[in-house]
Amino acid sequence: MKLSPADFPNLQLSLLAALLMMLIGAGVGYAAFNSTRTAQRDRAAAQAERNDIDGKLRRVSSEQSEIKQKSERFNTLRARGVIGEEQRLEWVELLKDIRDRRRLLDLQYEFAPQRALDAKSDAKSDTKPDGDFSFFASTMKVQIKLLHEEDLTRFLADLRQQARALIQVKSCNVSRLPRDASENNLAAQLLADCQIDWVTLRESAKK
């Protein structure tokens, strides 16, 4: 098909129309691309905000649980008499009661002056409630004459369960006593020599 000069005006109009349609299509595509990118940014921002809110909620829940646990631990320690000034008179009465109830042959003890425990002490940090509280310990040297080793384990178990303090056995050496042929079966067979810390917790003096 041959084109005559008279056909050029019509072709120009068609070319312009095609070019216009291409420009419109490109504009629509660009707008769609921008819209998609904006939607992706908005979605990412919304996800980040949701993650931040979820993280804050988890932290609040964790803090509430931690506060509850520490409060329960504090109340347990206070109920046991661990928090506050040491009660040496009660400790002495408890030692006498255990001696009599367990029928220990002989029990000799001596308390050293109370001392403060530093942050690196053997007292477990997870037993310490929040606040300005400090651990203090009184070391007891004790010698017990025993018929058998179970006397010692029962004595220590009674202390841990009943003492108004946290009981920490620092050392305990058991040696056999010399046996006299004339002695009866109720004579002491063993000697336990122990060092035991009675640990209490009280509010630190404010400066």
Q: Whose CA is closest to 141, among 162, 112, 100, 98?
A: 112
* Range 88-179+186-203: architecture per CATH: 2-Layer Sandwich (3.30)
**Where along the chain do its domains lie?**
13-78, 88-179+186-203
pLDDT tens for the 207 residues of the chain, in order: 555 556 556 666 676 777 778 878 777 777 777 778 887 887 877 777 777 776 766 676 666 665 556 556 666 677 677 888 888 999 999 999 999 999 998 999 999 999 998 645 555 555 555 557 789 999 999 999 998 899 999 999 999 999 999 999 999 999 998 876 545 556 788 999 999 999 998 876 654
Answering whether pTM is above 0.85, one says no
Q: Give the pairing type, strands 115-116 and 106-111.
A: unpaired
* End-to-end Cα separation, the chain, in angstroms: 107
pLDDT given at position 101: 94
Structural tokens at position 186: 């109720």
Distances (CA, A) of 108 to 56, 88, 192: 57, 15, 10
Q: Whose CA is closest to 144, among 180, 196, 197?
A: 196
pLDDT given at position 171: 94
pLDDT given at position 129: 55
